[in-house]
Structure 1
């Protein structure tokens, strides 16, 4: 069926969710070291830092999401957001672009880099 692309916002949200679970797992591992309070406290602090890091990432993606351009996907006709020059639909992973000069080109996330945006002229 070809390559599957994923939306940048969903990638970052998945990373933040994994930080929550990793943090809880680290804290849970700390319970097994009750005989060694220093190790247990270190595990609890590292787990808490991972959960706090997740909160920061969720806040960051929330702020970034407000700058994304809302569009209707031409493939599934559901509302989605485009972040950068190229992105994928949140629902069906259809490659999307807001840059007319990229229409018809193969989907490549490197189009979002500053190197490609300078060569656009």
Structure 2
């Protein structure tokens, strides 16, 4: 059984969803400190900060999604968005690349980092 890879866009969306839940949880915990208004206000503001940061992350990934390349996965046939040189299918987690030099190599997200090698100017 092969490794499961996650699509970068889905990872970021999951992180943003987690921020919403953490924010709501922090605000809910603040309710238990009704006797101490300072602690309750701090918890409410901290929770609101988490929810607002989630909104920023959702907006950012939405803007980033507009710059992606849409491809058809050769494994499942589903349309998926690629972000970077290598990514995984949103539907079946199949490793994908558009770079011919990376075909056949073991999937590694480090391929998305800028190459330090200088190309030959000739």
TM superposition score normalised by structure 2? 0.95
In the TM superposition, residue 120 of structure 1 has moved relative to its aligned partner by 8.2
The gaps in structure 2 that reach 5 residues or longer are none
C-alpha offsets along residues 21-66 of structure 1, whole Å, 9 cap, x if unaligned? 0000000000000000000000000000000000000000000011
Alpha-carbon distance between aligned partners in 1 of 2:79 and 2:103, rounded to the nearest angstrom: 20
In the TM superposition, residue 99 of structure 1 has moved relative to its aligned partner by 0.7
Counterparts of 1:20-35 in structure 2 under 5 Å? 20-35=20-35
Q: Which residue does the alignment assign to 1:109?
A: 109
TM superposition score normalised by structure 1? 0.95
The gaps in structure 1 that reach 5 residues or longer are none
Q: How many residues are treated as equivalent by the alignment?
A: 119
Cα RMSD for the two superposed structures: 1.1
Question: After the TM superposition, which segments of 4 or more aligned residues of structure 1 sit over 4 Å from their partners?
Answer: none
In the TM superposition, residue 119 of structure 1 has moved relative to its aligned partner by 3.4
Counterparts of 1:54-69 in structure 2 under 5 Å? 54-69=54-69
Q: Which residue does the alignment assign to 1:78?
A: 78
Task: Give the helix-richer structure, 1 or 2.
Answer: 1
